[in-house]
Amino acid sequence: MRYIFEHLWLGENKDRSACLFSHAARINYTSFGAISLAAMALNNGEESIRFCAKHFQTPWSAVPEANRNGGLSLLHIPRFYDPELRATLEHFHFVNCFAVSRSHTPGIPIADSVRFTRSCGIAKSTLEHYFGCPVFFDEGIAQIDFSRQWLNRPTPALNSALRTQAERLVATVAGRIRDKHSLLQFLQAHLDTIHSADDMARLLSISRRTLARVLDQQGASYSILSREVRLTEARRLLRSGVTTEHIAERLGFSDERSFRRAFKSWCGSSPSDYRSGQEQFLHSLK
């Protein structure tokens, strides 16, 4: 995978914007296979996003999260630690999302904003022209903030045969076992009691070695999983107005100071600065 991206994206004399948007021109709704086709049978855009995020097998986790402006954000969380490759994947992933969405729902604004951890050498104005909304760099986590208009778009008109086929695909895809997503959801559901890999293995009734092997097969580790789950939850709670003292307790930190220090190492900003920045951003959308 890295070789492919280095060849397409990181090599010398590459026009990155031309490379990215040329790639996007070849993407459409059917390019994503059975999972995206199955999503056509769901009731609205939010259900479609949650379904695809849960079942796509990718080198990153796509995590849907409700936001305070009544919409839905899609977070991009890698299963590895490599800032340059991470930013490259963010750009390709988000451009793919928009290309697929536009091929299926042309003329509807898709997002209120798009956020990246790094710029990757493409001008902000170029990306804003493509996405049709404000773009931000140097964010703690990359995300798409989907517009309410796109989330509430009308469901596609499928004839009875296509709808039956899509509904069968939903059942087939939903029945598959996804170890990584299952473990991610398990950790999210047990944040109050899981504070180490040993805790998680014990609750799953498996050995720590087995847990490590399963995560390694998915390109992850307990430390990465724990960090990203706790960061996602911390961001959600901060946006909801929960105090840092209660967040520290919820996430299993020994005290509030330990939480603030960890959050700053994760995001590069303090919890108070993050909360203030989110409030200013949401105010700018009104």
| Per-residue pLDDT tens digits for 88-120 | 889 988 998 898 888 777 788 999 999 998 898
Tally the C-alpha atoms within 13 A of residue 227's C-alpha that lie toward its C-beta.
18
Residue type (1 letter), 107: G
59-63, 121-125, 126-130, 228-232: segment of lowest average pLDDT: 59-63
Provide the β-strand partners of residue 72: 66, 146
- Chosen CATH of 179-285 out of 1.20.1090.10, 1.10.10.60, 3.40.50.300, 1.10.357.10: 1.10.10.60
Query: pTM of the predicted model, to two decimals?
Result: 0.61
Determine contact, residues 62/75, Cβ cutoff 8 Å.
Answer: yes
- Would you mind telling me the total number of residues written for the chain in this entry? 286
CA distance 254 to 236: 20
Query: Domain-by-domain residue ranges, the chain?
Result: 2-174, 179-285
Digit-coded pLDDT (tens) for 206-242: 778 878 877 776 667 888 888 888 888 888 888 888 9
SS3 helix, strand, coil % of the chain, rounded to 5?
60, 10, 30
Determine contact, residues 88/10, Cβ cutoff 8 Å.
Answer: yes
